[in-house]
């Protein structure tokens, strides 16, 4: 069957499944709308958390990032999984015991302050919208690349679907569709990986294949040899400074733990015991993808080099003219993906062959050999607005992976369905926290306290509907820097919400003034730093050289400094302002032990 038809069928079937689940899991009460009734089984919740957490970026971009960064890609692997340990021991059980519906509500109640609650809502909305715009864009891209409809149509279909189950079903609808989406995305991710690992290392488990043999040498040694032969840095060594790797990893971990759409998932389980277990299950389901990704990345990188330079797999001289493949006979997948601009061949030396190497190598011996071979610059890259750009788009490493490895069409169709599932499930989770922070925190909590349950449910639905439209608009007309500002979401969560919640649980004396001052300090510092060093992409100004980074920490890792400032400022202001009242100290005492968690939510 033709690939496009097959893709339509697979994606269509997955949509039918989501719609069916959404109709079955309609929400009737605010408790169902906000926390899925509070009785989701920890394993089910773990699976939903996995889908909620793994976004279009995890599914489509991460393996490609790792492929080109090698060891440097570890920051994402550790950073986006280690956060669950923090969640399990620092946040989830205690917030579950507290037993309310939203993150700003905890902050508002714990710090006995509407101002704190509103500041938390601002942090939450900023974090979540940054994130959701990228998801909607991801949906549009998958549609346009696999189904050849234009991005707008793809976006509208995606919006319609999310609208349907998020507005109708709230958290309940989202939870059960996320379970289905997890299953779709994990199959889509692992099946090609298993095939490729079998091809390259003869081992069906990619986690073992990456450390296994190809021919009579270890695969990683072979890959290191290949990339260094072509002038790139060795795969298993890094090129970022240690302090930067350290800070980025920590910022991603603490940011993960502070992301509102992840935290609220732990409000949906019945007990504190379940909240702890559920964090473990979530990480099990996430780890299946995250431990596969390094193999996908490394093997895709190898396959790409082996495709364009025959000496890589067969051995021999990579500089020999006949080693580089002829442009005319380049594989079909390359021609197909050239239409999307993700990959582009430009014959710089006019020999009709493709030379793919690191023209910016710092090794003079390598450059001399390249020149002697008649290579006049790297010829494989991507298309950036009609111009040749010397880097192959990282997304192609997952999207075209099955084609590069010559896998059957149904596997390719599955990748499309998986990419859409990953984007939709994350978008839905984000839209829900946005809408509940508006209907529950701003309306019910501050501006319209006497709103009825029915009115609040309606407000939640309207807010979700508006949020879907805003997200769709941002996806259609991205502010040009969506991909660049993911650092924002994690940095801000790491510097604002995470420390404030942790202090709320682990300090009985932290007071209103300290919390607000800390949150604002973390937020403003981190935001200013990121905007300053990314002003070339954000504001179109001249780039500030990276050499000016504070302590050599990149904008991706600066959230860690923001977090430290948050703690320090909170402590100083706490000492200068009136002490935390007695009844709040009792409240903190009460959330520290599990008994009575079910009752806490029932009283709500």
Partner 1 sequence: MPNPQGFDPKAYWSATLKLLVTTLIIWFIVSFGAGILFRDALDGIHLGGYPLGFWFAQQGSIFVFVGLIFWYAKRMDKIDREHDVHED
490 binds partner 1 (CB under 8 A): no
CA dihedral 258, 259, 264, 269 (to 10 degrees): -70
| Cβ proximity of 407 and 398 under 8 Å | no
Q: Where are the beta strands (DSSP E) in 410-532?
A: none
The alpha carbon of residue 267 and the mean position of all alpha carbons in its chain are separated, in whole angstroms, by 21
Q: Tokens 């709230």 label which residue?
A: 170
77 binds partner 1 (CB under 8 A): yes
Stretch near partner 1 under the rule CB under 8 A, chosen from 79-87, 444-452, 466-474, 560-568: 79-87
478 binds partner 1 (CB under 8 A): no
Rounded least distance, CB 344 to partner 1, Å: 30
Among 283, 380, 434, 464, binds partner 1 (CB under 8 A): 283
Strand-strand pairing, 344-345 and 217-218: unpaired
84 binds partner 1 (CB under 8 A): yes
Angstrom distance (rounded) from CA 173 to CA 274: 20
Of 457 and 505, nearer to partner 1 (C-beta) is: 505
420 binds partner 1 (CB under 8 A): no
| Cβ proximity of 135 and 427 under 8 Å | yes
Among 294, 445, 475, 559, binds partner 1 (CB under 8 A): 294
284 binds partner 1 (CB under 8 A): yes
596 binds partner 1 (CB under 8 A): yes
Among 193, 277, 299, 489, binds partner 1 (CB under 8 A): 277
Closest residue by Cα to residue 254 from 588, 564, 571: 564
CA quadruple 29, 32, 34, 37: dihedral sign: positive
Angstrom distance (rounded) from CA 226 to CA 323: 13
Stretch near partner 1 under the rule CB under 8 A, chosen from 66-74, 357-365, 387-395, 576-584: 66-74
Q: CA-based diameter of the chain, in Å?
A: 80
Tokens representing 332? Answer: 């079909």
524 binds partner 1 (CB under 8 A): no
Stretch near partner 1 under the rule CB under 8 A, chosen from 124-132, 242-250, 353-361, 530-538: 242-250
The residues that bridge with 380 in the sheet, in sequence order, are 345
Angstrom distance (rounded) from CA 560 to CA 249: 9
Among 6, 8, 194, 221, binds partner 1 (CB under 8 A): 221
Among 139, 167, 220, 502, binds partner 1 (CB under 8 A): 220
276 binds partner 1 (CB under 8 A): yes
368 binds partner 1 (CB under 8 A): no
241 binds partner 1 (CB under 8 A): no
138 binds partner 1 (CB under 8 A): no
Among 246, 388, 473, 571, binds partner 1 (CB under 8 A): 246
287 binds partner 1 (CB under 8 A): yes
Rounded least distance, CB 316 to partner 1, Å: 23
The residues that bridge with 384 in the sheet, in sequence order, are 387
CA quadruple 565, 568, 572, 574: dihedral sign: positive
Stretch near partner 1 under the rule CB under 8 A, chosen from 122-130, 154-162, 209-217, 464-472: 209-217
Tokens representing 433? Answer: 């926290």
Strand-strand pairing, 380-384 and 387-389: antiparallel
Of 230 and 253, nearer to partner 1 (C-beta) is: 253
Stretch near partner 1 under the rule CB under 8 A, chosen from 8-16, 108-116, 290-298, 460-468: 290-298
370 binds partner 1 (CB under 8 A): no
Tokens representing 546? Answer: 């990276």
Among 273, 348, 535, 604, binds partner 1 (CB under 8 A): 273
Among 19, 341, 600, 604, binds partner 1 (CB under 8 A): 600
Backbone angle region of 315, left / alpha / beta, with phi > 0 → left and psi within -120 to 50 → alpha = left
Backbone angle region of 343, left / alpha / beta, with phi > 0 → left and psi within -120 to 50 → alpha = beta
Stretch near partner 1 under the rule CB under 8 A, chosen from 170-178, 277-285, 522-530, 567-575: 277-285
93 binds partner 1 (CB under 8 A): yes
598 binds partner 1 (CB under 8 A): yes
Q: Which residues touch 51 (CB under 8 Å, ≥6 apart)?
A: 178, 179, 181, 182, 185, 421, 422, 425, 426
Of 25 and 186, nearer to partner 1 (C-beta) is: 186
**Would you list the DSSP string of 316-341?**
S-TTSGGGBPBGGG--HHHHHHHTTT
Among 8, 19, 41, 74, binds partner 1 (CB under 8 A): 74
Angstrom distance (rounded) from CA 161 to CA 183: 18
585 binds partner 1 (CB under 8 A): no
C-alpha angle 445/450/453, rounded to 5°? 85
Stretch near partner 1 under the rule CB under 8 A, chosen from 16-24, 241-249, 257-265, 397-405: 241-249
Closest residue by Cα to residue 428 from 460, 467, 475: 467
280 binds partner 1 (CB under 8 A): yes
Closest residue by Cα to residue 510 from 113, 94, 102: 113
**Residue 384 neighbours by CB distance under 10 Å:** 13
Among 20, 160, 202, 211, binds partner 1 (CB under 8 A): 211
Of 26 and 273, nearer to partner 1 (C-beta) is: 273
The footprint of partner 1 (CB under 8 A) covers 66, 71, 73-74, 77-78, 81-82, 84-86, 88-90, 93, 207-208, 210-213, 218-221, 236, 242, 245-246, 249-250, 271-273, 276-277, 279-280, 283-284, 287, 290-291, 294, 589-590, 592-600
């Amino acid at each position: 069957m033709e690939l496009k038809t097959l893709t339509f069928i697979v994606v269509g079937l997955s949509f039918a499944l989501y719609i069916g689940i959404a109709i079955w899991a309609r929400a009737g009460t605010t408790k169902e709308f906000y926390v899925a009734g509070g009785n989701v089984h920890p394993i089910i919740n773990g699976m939903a958390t996995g889908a909620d957490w793994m976004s279009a970026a995890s599914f489509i971009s991460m393996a490609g990032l790792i492929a080109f960064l090698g060891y440097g890609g570890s920051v994402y692997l550790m950073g986006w999984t280690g956060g669950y340990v923090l969640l399990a021991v620092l946040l989830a059980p205690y917030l579950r015991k507290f037993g309310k519906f939203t993150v700003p509500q905890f902050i508002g109640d714990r710090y006995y302050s509407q101002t704190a609650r509103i500041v938390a809502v601002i942090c939450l909305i900023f974090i979540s919208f940054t994130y959701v715009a990228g998801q909607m864009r991801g949906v549009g891209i998958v549609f346009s690349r696999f189904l050849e409809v234009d991005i707008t149509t793809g976006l509208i279909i995606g919006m319609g679907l999310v609208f349907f189950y998020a507005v109708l079903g709230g958290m309940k609808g989202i939870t059960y569709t996320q379970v289905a989406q997890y299953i779709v995305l994990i199959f889509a991710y692992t099946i090609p990986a298993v095939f490729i690992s079998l091809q390259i290392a003869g081992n069906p488990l990619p986690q073992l294949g990456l450390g296994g043999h190809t021919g009579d040498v270890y695969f990683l040694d072979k890959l290191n040899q290949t990339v260094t032969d072509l002038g790139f840095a060795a795969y298993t060594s890094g090129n970022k400074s240690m302090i930067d790797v350290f800070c980025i990893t920590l910022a991603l971990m603490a940011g993960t733990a502070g992301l509102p759409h992840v935290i609220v998932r732990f409000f949906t389980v019945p007990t504190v015991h379940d909240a702890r277990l559920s964090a473990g299950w979530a990480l099990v389901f996430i780890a299946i993808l995250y431990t596969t990704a390094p193999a996908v990345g490394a093997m895709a990188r190898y396959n790409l080099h082996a495709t364009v330079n025959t000496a890589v797999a067969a051995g021999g001289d990579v500089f020999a003219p006949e080693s580089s493949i002829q442009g005319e006979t380049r594989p079909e997948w390359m021609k197909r993906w050239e239409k999307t601009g993700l990959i582009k061949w430009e014959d710089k030396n006019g020999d009709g062959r493709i030379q793919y190497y690191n023209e910016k190598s710092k090794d003079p011996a390598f450059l001399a050999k390249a020149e002697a071979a008649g290579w006049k610059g790297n010829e494989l890259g991507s298309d950036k607005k009609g111009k040749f750009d010397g880097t192959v788009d990282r997304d192609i490493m997952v999207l075209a992976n099955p084609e590069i490895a010559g896998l059957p069409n149904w596997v390719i169709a599955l990748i499309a369905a998986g990419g859409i599932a990953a984007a939709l499930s994350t978008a839905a989770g984000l839209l829900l926290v946005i809408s509940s922070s508006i209907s529950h925190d701003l309306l019910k909590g501050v501006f319209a306290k006497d709103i009825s349950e029915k009115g609040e449910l309606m407000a939640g639905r309207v807010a979700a509907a508006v949020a879907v439209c805003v997200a769709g608009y941002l996806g259609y007309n991205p502010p040009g820097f969506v991909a660049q500002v993911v650092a924002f979401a994690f940095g801000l969560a790491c510097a604002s919400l995470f420390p404030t919640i942790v202090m709320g649980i682990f300090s009985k004396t932290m007071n209103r003034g300290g919390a607000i001052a800390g949150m604002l300090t973390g937020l403003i510092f981190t935001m200013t730093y990121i905007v300053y060093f990314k002003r070339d992409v954000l504001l179109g100004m001249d780039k500030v050289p990276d050499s000016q980074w504070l302590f050599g920490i990149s904008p991706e890792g600066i959230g860690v400094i923001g977090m430290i400032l948050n703690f320090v400022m909170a402590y100083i202001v706490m000492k200068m302002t009136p002490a935390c009242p007695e009844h709040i100290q009792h409240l903190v005492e009460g959330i520290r032990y599990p008994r009575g968690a079910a009752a806490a939510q029932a009283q709500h």
